A and B are shown apart, each in its own frame.
Chain A
């Protein structure tokens, strides 16, 4: 079955340090992959997405992610973390579905990774 796994439930880094959040997927075809961020008390906001082409994608807030087919991974990175990056991060994969005559993508989310930033 198609799935998305985020192995790290909670990560703590110091402000200014680099960050890598892991995401692994299980999917038969080339996936559509997303990273969302959820700040406390807020809904989810799209950070970046990958569909095809360059395997290194740039997103908002200085984040980037690299798609590695051989490792079935789509890890999120940031060279220097800011205190405002403290949030929960979700990796998601789009699964193809058909309903009502329309083909669309259904998002399946990973379990989330909580990021704490120490000053």
Chain B
């Protein structure tokens, strides 16, 4: 089954304690992206990756890091989490090569709810 898998689904941590949220897709998609969802703000892009070893900042990258060492994985790293990073996080992927570069839909994971106290 084609899917994007995020782990964990729920995470409660304390300020300053490094954490990683994993994301894996089995569709051989080139493009992967992280979003955070906050009430009244919709989804805002944190980082994205066009392919292996190619990453770039989205709209709200501060306080986050990513890596893309393999095509299927795109972990989100919070080196020193703060309470304002409490949010619902989504990983997504899609194909971007050929004719599908504009019209291929994003496939989303089920989300990770992070609470930083």
**A interface residues (Cβ-Cβ under 8 A, vs B):** 6, 9, 32, 34, 36, 41-46, 49, 51, 90, 94, 96, 99-100, 102-107, 109-112
Contact = CB atoms under 8 A, between A and B. Distances in A.
Interface in B60-117: 90, 92, 96-97, 101-103, 105-106, 108-111
Interface of B: 4, 31, 35, 40-45, 48, 50-51, 54, 56, 90, 92, 96-97, 101-103, 105-106, 108-111
Contacts of A9: 40
Contacts, number: 65
21 contacts: A32-B102, A43-B90, A43-B109, A43-B110, A43-B111, A44-B108, A46-B106, A51-B102, A51-B103, A90-B43, A96-B102, A99-B50, A99-B54, A102-B50, A102-B96, A105-B103, A106-B45, A109-B35, A109-B43, A111-B42, A112-B42
Interface-centre pick from A32, A90, A104, A110 (highest chain B CB count, 10 A): A104
Interface centre among A34, A96, A107, A111 (most CB of B within 10 A): A107
Given A34-B105, A51-B102, A94-B102, A104 B110 contact: no
A34 B90 CA distance: 18
Contact of B106 (A32, A44, A96, A112): A44
Contacts of B108: 43-45
A111 B40 contact: yes
Contacts of B96: 102, 104
A43 to B, nearest CB: 3
A110 B42 contact: yes
Contacts of A32: 102-103
